[in-house]
Amino acid sequence: MELNGSHFLVVGATGVLGSALARGLAARGALLTLSGRSEAKLAALAGELGGAAAGTVAADLGRLSAPSDIAAAAYGRELNGIIFAAGVVAFGPAAEVDDDTLDELMLVNLLGYMRLMRELAPRLAEDSVVVQLSAVVAERPTAGMAAYSATKAALSAYGKALGLELRRQGSRVLDVRPPHTETGLTERTLAGTAPRLPQGKDPQAVAERIIAAMAEDEKDLASTAF
């Protein structure tokens, strides 16, 4: 895939991994529409990227209107790819996760993405790519993270089926399941406290591996690929 001159929608662009991907793609000549929760952080990132930033849209995937708002921001120019790097995490025994936490996990990690793809999949250009960032827990569900693991496993399964459908229009889905990465997500938990974890991967190195997979037309990045 030719990254230079391609237009990508980056959802979760203000997160550690999302912003690393945005910077890496901009450095390769891509044009980016940036989405995230914080208007101020989006403006700062767009200012840093300069002409590579085609536009921004502040939207919270915890709200039902967010997917449509994000999709609308990508209209008006050819869409060569979508990067879904948004996500939230929660910890604690499965029997203790409350409804609000379950709802937020499902909306942000899975349902928001599914609704976004429902709107944007038909608009993808030929030879486009959808990059969805899942996690190692999609491969190895983890005690104390049952609800989070379930959302990521569902995201991975959805992407595999979506990829089969999109190949008819010349598009592909790249399902990415990196091991624990030092993004700071475990310090911004919706509920519970993260268990002691080993040193995580460097976000910059993870982002570079993902961008290389985009360029080389890969369709799957298991945790062992990092």
Spatial neighbors of 23 by CB under 8 A, at least 6 apart, are 48, 49, 207
Tens digit of pLDDT for each residue in 168-191? 999 999 999 999 999 998 889 999
Tens digit of pLDDT for each residue in 128-177? 999 999 999 999 999 999 999 999 999 999 999 999 999 999 999 999 99
Query: 190 with 104: CB under 8 angstroms?
Result: yes
Q: Is 47 within a domain?
A: yes
Domain that holds residue 84: 7-225
Q: Is 1 within a domain?
A: no
**CA 2 – CA 31 distance, rounded (Å):** 12
Q: What is the total residue count of the chain?
A: 226
Q: Is 82 within a domain?
A: yes
**CA 213 – CA 51 distance, rounded (Å):** 24
**pTM above threshold 0.75:** yes
**CA 61 – CA 108 distance, rounded (Å):** 5
Query: What is the enclosing helix (H) or strand (E) of 99?
Result: helix 99-106
Tens digit of pLDDT for each residue in 82-103? 999 999 999 999 999 999 999 9
Q: Which of 202, 201, 219 is nearest to 163 (CA)?
A: 219
Mean pLDDT for all residues in the chain: 96
Tens digit of pLDDT for each residue in 11-68? 999 999 999 999 999 999 999 999 999 999 999 999 999 999 999 999 999 999 999 9
Burial 167-201 (b: 16+ CB within 10 A, else e): eeeebbbbbbbbbbbbbebeeebbbbeeeeeeebb
Q: What is the total count of domains within the chain?
A: 1
- CATH number of the domain that 81 lies in? 3.40.50.720
The vertex-20 CA angle with 145 and 67, nearest 5°, equals 65
How large is the average pLDDT for residues 198-219?
96
Q: Is 35 within a domain?
A: yes
Q: Which of 4, 182, 8, 15 is nearest to 88 (CA)?
A: 15
Q: Is 2 within a domain?
A: no
Q: Is 46 within a domain?
A: yes
Task: Report which residue type is found at 132.
Answer: Q
